[in-house]
Structures are given as structure tokens and as C-alpha cells.
């Protein structure tokens, strides 16, 4: 047992796992040798931080997360740089967003500076797991669950925070090829005052029905419309969304019902750097259809940590099929995909100080 300077105890795994084939990773199918765990209770606050062998938790069947879903999570990635460096992209934005989620779900905030240090320690230890191939990375999943055994509906008095890591390739089977997106007109994702802007598992559990139905129809993902008028575009199942209309990059505003994506923010800042007009405003599905028909819609794409930049080649809405850019990847999506990957791998200038070096 070793103590490092961050009071994180390190217990090394005795047997290391065999690494998977980097060309067959998919998303979230493999997990590294170690994980970070840290506990919270009312008396001690955060304590017992450990990097330990990846393994099962022991939970009481009454653990509150199992009943009332008091759970939050994040997603970020570690990349291999050209000079064998190990890089994180905007990790503090993820940890700050984690604390915003914690506030909304009545969970304890995490000490972001310490957690970033501990995360770097974990990633350094797992550096041989970071895939080198283009488009692949080590996905980092911080999460917190309510572990107190009790059945009253109230904030729990005990939590586990943990970070697991997974070498990943492209999120979608299509890779970077254009996706087909089904505009969901039966189910809704979020309402004002709800938790649509929070990274909590319940949002995703509630989305599975629509997603599964859309997949049965041959679509990659769903596009959510607003819950009140069912006409304003919100976000795709696992990403935010952008449209290029009349040479302006349009994305729905952060109004409490969509996730404040870090890749979304990156896209907005890069586009502004490149002199592209950007606009965060409400946009209806009818406007998108009209723009596709009159030729002013030239591109559509999703943005997210898992999805990176995912071009959209087609929307299905009720009986209509809306084709975008003849079903091909547009030049802006391609440029963003290439430039963001270069940035994340340390191969481009970083004027916004987004990169945090682990090694
Ligand atoms: C991410 O992009 O990191 C996400 O959290 C989406 C995930 C649900 C796959």
C-alpha cells in the first residue's frame, strides 16, 4: 500500500488484464485494471480515497440509488499525444458540471482540484490502456451514487464517488459516416424545471424506449423535441445538435432542458475563432424541413464527448425523410472533427487552454 501526496491510497492490481484489439473496441465494452473510489458521509465528508483494482461494489439491496436513482455522472477522454504525452480535454469543465448536477440532485459536491489530481494519477497508472489509433481514446467515467440503505425519499447520507476508464472507438457503428436520426414525436425527454440539463442516469433510462424504437426503424438515434409544443428542437439522444443554415451555425439555447455540452461549447468557440457566424436560438423542426427544401440547410451534426462530431445525413420525421447535404458529411463537420481531434492530441495550438497534461 502506498500513499501519494493527494491522500489517495494506491492498491495495485496483482494481475493485469489482457488489452483488447484496438480496431474492435466499440464503445464502453472494456474496462481498465484500476478505478478510483471515494466515500462520503455526514460525519466525515469525503474520505477513504483509493485507486484500487477494478471490481464489484458491495451494495445493500436498500441502497437508495437502486430505488430512487440518486445518481450523476460525467464523460471525458484521455488522449495520446504525438510525443507520448497523455492529455485531457477541458477536464475542469466536466468536474464543475458534475458539481452542478450534484446540487440539483441534492448530492455532496466534490473537491474538484483534488479530484482532478486523483484522476490524473489514475490515468497515469492506466496510460498503457490509451488507444493510439485515430478516433480512439480512453473514456473516463466519473460517477456518484447514493449508497445509504433506506427507503424514505430524501437525500441519502452516504455516497460513493468513483471513476472507471474504458478504451473506446467511435460511439456509433457508423464511425464518422453520416447518421440517420429519427425525430421523436411521441415521447419527450425533459421539461422546464426538471432535470434535462443534469447528467443523471434517469434521463438516459427514460430515453431507451424511444431509442430502441427508432433503431428498429433503422435509425441511429433520436432527436428530441420540446415537451410542450413538440416543435422546438432540443438535442439528440447522446449529443447536442447543430445546423448550418444560410451560412450561420445554429444550435438550440441552454434553457434548462438540454445538456450544457462541453463539445457544444468547443464547437461554438472554434466556429467563432474561424469567423463563422453562430447563433444559439430556438429552432423548430418545421424550419429545418423548410431550410432543407429551399437549400439553405447545408449541414447538420451532433456534438458530444462520446459522439465527438457526428454528421447527420438524414432525418426521419413522421412520414417525411429530410436529406441533408445529399446524405454526405459536410465541410464544417469534417473540419471540426479533424481540428478537435488535433487539439485533443496536442497537435494544434491551444489558445483557449483546454488541454491539461497528465504526462
Ligand atoms: C458522453 O458523451 O460522454 C455522454 O455522456 C453520452 C453517453 C451517455 C454515451
With residue 199 as reference, give the H or E element that holds it.
none
Domain residue ranges in the chain:
2-168, 179-344
Beta strands in 147-239 (DSSP E): 158-168, 179-183, 221-225, 233-236
Q: If you measure from the C-alpha of residue 43 to the centroid of ligand 1, how many angstroms do you get, rounded to a whole number?
A: 33
What is the distance between the alpha carbons of residues 139 and 25, in angstroms, rounded to a whole number?
11
Q: Residues of the chain whose pLDDT is less than 50?
A: 1-5
Q: If you measure from the C-alpha of residue 211 to the centroid of ligand 1, how many angstroms do you get, rounded to a whole number?
A: 14
Residue 348 grid coordinates: 494544434
What is the distance between the alpha carbons of residues 113 and 105, in angstroms, rounded to a whole number?
21
What is the pLDDT, as a whole number, of residue 1?
A: 36
What is the distance between the alpha carbons of residues 125 and 123, in angstroms, rounded to a whole number?
5
Question: Measured from the CA of 238, which atom of ligand 1 is nearest?
Answer: 6
Of 278, 279, 270, nearest to 341 by C-alpha is: 270
What CATH superfamily classification does 179-344 receive?
A: D-amino Acid Aminotransferase, subunit A, domain 2 (3.20.10.10)
Residue ranges around ligand 1 (CB below 6 Å): 75, 204, 238, 304-306
Question: Measured from the CA of 76, which atom of ligand 1 is nearest?
Answer: 3
What is the pLDDT, as a whole number, of residue 6?
A: 56
Q: Which residue do the cell numbers 433506506 mark? A: 150
Q: If you measure from the C-alpha of residue 237 to the centroid of ligand 1, how many angstroms do you get, rounded to a whole number?
A: 9
What digits encode the pLDDT tens for the residues 234-286?
999 999 999 999 999 999 999 999 999 999 999 999 999 999 999 999 999 99
Pick the CATH number of 2-168 from 3.30.470.10, 3.10.20.30, 3.30.1490.100, 3.40.50.300: 3.30.470.10
What digits encode the pLDDT tens for the residues 87-105?
999 999 999 999 999 999 9
Q: Which residue do the cell numbers 460511439 mark? A: 171
Ligand 1 atom 3: residue of nearest CA? 75
Distances 25 to 20, 69, 213 between C-alpha atoms, Å: 7, 29, 25
Q: Quote the pTM value.
A: 0.96
Question: Measured from the CA of 139, which atom of ligand 1 is nearest?
Answer: 3
Question: Measured from the CA of 73, which atom of ligand 1 is nearest?
Answer: 5
What is the distance between the alpha carbons of residues 132 and 182, in angstroms, rounded to a whole number?
33
Bridge partners, 23 (sequence order): none
Amino acid at each position: 500500500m502506498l500513499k501519494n501526496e493527494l491522500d489517495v491510497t494506491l492498491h495495485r492490481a496483482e494481475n493485469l488484464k489482457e488489452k483488447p484489439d484496438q480496431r474492435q473496441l466499440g464503445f464502453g465494452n472494456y474496462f481498465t485494471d484500476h478505478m478510483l473510489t471515494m466515500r462520503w458521509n455526514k460525519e466525515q465528508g469525503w474520505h477513504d480515497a483509493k485507486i484500487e483494482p477494478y471490481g464489484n461494489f458491495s451494495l445493500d439491496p436498500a441502497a437508495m440509488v437502486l430505488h430512487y436513482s440518486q445518481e450523476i455522472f460525467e464523460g471525458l477522454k484521455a488522449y495520446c499525444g504525438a510525443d507520448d504525452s497523455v492529455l485531457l480535454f477541458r477536464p475542469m469543465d466536466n468536474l464543475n458540471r458534475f458539481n452542478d448536477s450534484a446540487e440539483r440532485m441534492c448530492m455532496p459536491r466534490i473537491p474538484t482540484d483534488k479530484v482532478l489530481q486523483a484522476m490524473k494519477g489514475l490515468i497515469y497508472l492506466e496510460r498503457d490502456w490509451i488507444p493510439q489509433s485515430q478516433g480512439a481514446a480512453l473514456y473516463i467515467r466519473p460517477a456518484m451514487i447514493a449508497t445509504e440503505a433506506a427507503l424514505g425519499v430524501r437525500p441519502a447520507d452516504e455516497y460513493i464517488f468513483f471513476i472507471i476508464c474504458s478504451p473506446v472507438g467511435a460511439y456509433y457503428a457508423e464511425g464518422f459516416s453520416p447518421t440517420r436520426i429519427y425525430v421523436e414525436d411521441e415521447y419527450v425527454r425533459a421539461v422546464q424545471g426538471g432535470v434535462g440539463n443534469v447528467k443523471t442516469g434517469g434521463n438516459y433510462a427514460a430515453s431507451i424506449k424511444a431509442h430502441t424504437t427508432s433503431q428498429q426503424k433503422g435509425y441511429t438515434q433520436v432527436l428530441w423535441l420540446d415537451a410542450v409544443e413538440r416543435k422546438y428542437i432540443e438535442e439528440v439522444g447522446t449529443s447536442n445538435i447543430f445546423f448550418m443554415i444560410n451560412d450561420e451555425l445554429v444550435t438550440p439555447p441552454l434553457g434548462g432542458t438540454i445538456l450544457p455540452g462541453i463539445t457544444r461549447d468547443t464547437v461554438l468557440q472554434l466556429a467563432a475563432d474561424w469567423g463563422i457566424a453562430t447563433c444559439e436560438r430556438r429552432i423548430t423542426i418545421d424550419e429545418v424541413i423548410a431550410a432543407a427544401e429551399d437549400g439553405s440547410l447545408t449541414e447538420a451534426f451532433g456534438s458530444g464527448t462520446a459522439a465527438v462530431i457526428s454528421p447527420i445525413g438524414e432525418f426521419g420525421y413522421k412520414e417525411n425523410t429530410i436529406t441533408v447535404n445529399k446524405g454526405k458529411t459536410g465541410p464544417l463537420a469534417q473540419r471540426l472533427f479533424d481540428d478537435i481531434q488535433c487539439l485533443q492530441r496536442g497537435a494544434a495550438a491551444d489558445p483557449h487552454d483546454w488541454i491539461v497534461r497528465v504526462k
